[in-house]
Structure 1
Amino acid sequence: MRLTRPMLAAAAAALLLAGCGSGGGDDKAAAVPETASGSLEHLAAEVGCTPTIQIDADELRQASCRKSKADGKFILATFATDRGQREWINGAKDYGGHYLVGRKWVAVGETTKTVSALRATLGGDVEEGQDHSAHSGSH
């Protein structure tokens, strides 16, 4: 299956619209480990979840995951190229969300707390999508 940029953006939008809420949390005090690397399954095992595969293509593998009810649900995606990853993130950020970014992988959390918990295990850099809480209208 060949994925196009609009297909990737649409997939990201659908995932994020399910979790537009924002949450509290602050990861400044936590020590950040070296950024993890590996397959989608390896990264999921690192954080203790069983991934539910949603997209399995050459360019992108994407799964939903939940560590525990308290930690929240998140999306884990791995990419074949750095460019594909950056294009996906740039398109997805228009829809809001909280992103943990590593080398050729992204975890998208429903809340800042979820991303902070993942970062404590996977390392990576936190990026934020557009804040939709200031906008009126539907999510």
Structure 2
Amino acid sequence: MTRVMIGAAAALALAGCGSSGDSKAVPPTATGSLESLAAEVKCKPNMQTDADELRQAICKNTDGRFILATFATDRGQREWINDAKDYGGYYLVGRKWVAVGDDGVVKALRGTLGGDVEIGTNHKAHSGAHSG
């Protein structure tokens, strides 16, 4: 669980607010190691976690900064995403990998890696003042 929380905190630090909108044609979802996925989006991964069940790196390319993580199992990936989404952000999800960043970065990555976009909890909706 500690790695999940570290990953979620890192995702929160990199995730920003952005506008949502339609994206261009989405290619087939990429597969492969963290290094091969990073090479596809032209980033040199700065490894943060290198364990059997989770490999996680901070990446930066011309589109911006993002977290790239790969997982040993589908279940481990889903548990990580479910926990991390409590921190907000945008998640590009492929088979046993996820990229986390702001809306614009995730959309740009999707144009190369494919995958599905998931959006974390928006806590700003809960922090506004109530009139009455």
Equivalent residue for 1:120, pick from 105, 108, 111: 111
- The C-alpha deviation readout for 1:24-80, integer Å capped at 9, x for no partner, is 252x24000000000000000000110000000000000000112xx2210000000
The answer to whether 1:18 aligns with 2:13 is yes
4+ residue segments displaced more than 3 Å: none
Query: 8 Å contact 2:15–2:100 — kept in the other structure?
Result: no
Number of residues paired by the alignment? Answer: 128
Number of the residue aligned with 1:30: 24
Cα deviation, residue 19, structure 1:
2.9
Ranges in structure 1 where 5+ consecutive residues have no aligned partner: 1-5
Over the matched positions of the two proteins, sequence identity in percent amounts to: 66
Cα deviation, residue 9, structure 1:
2.7
The answer to whether 1:77 aligns with 2:54 is no
Distance in 2, Cα, partners of 1:80 & 1:134: 35
The answer to whether 1:60 aligns with 2:54 is yes
Cα deviation, residue 12, structure 1:
2.2
Superposed CA RMSD: 1.5
Distance in 2, Cα, partners of 1:20 & 1:132: 13
The answer to whether 1:129 aligns with 2:123 is no
Distance in 2, Cα, partners of 1:32 & 1:67: 19
Query: 8 Å contact 2:90–2:120 — kept in the other structure?
Result: yes
The answer to whether 1:94 aligns with 2:89 is no
Q: Label 1:36 to 1:91 Cα distance change in 2 as closer, same or farther (>3 A).
A: same
SS at 2:126 equivalent: coil
Q: Label 1:114 to 1:135 Cα distance change in 2 as closer, same or farther (>3 A).
A: same
Cα deviation, residue 133, structure 1:
2.1
Cα deviation, residue 20, structure 1:
4.4
What TM-score results when the alignment is normalised by the length of structure 2?
Answer: 0.91
Distance in 1, Cα, partners of 2:9 & 2:23: 32
What TM-score results when the alignment is normalised by the length of structure 1?
Answer: 0.86
SS at 1:48 equivalent: coil
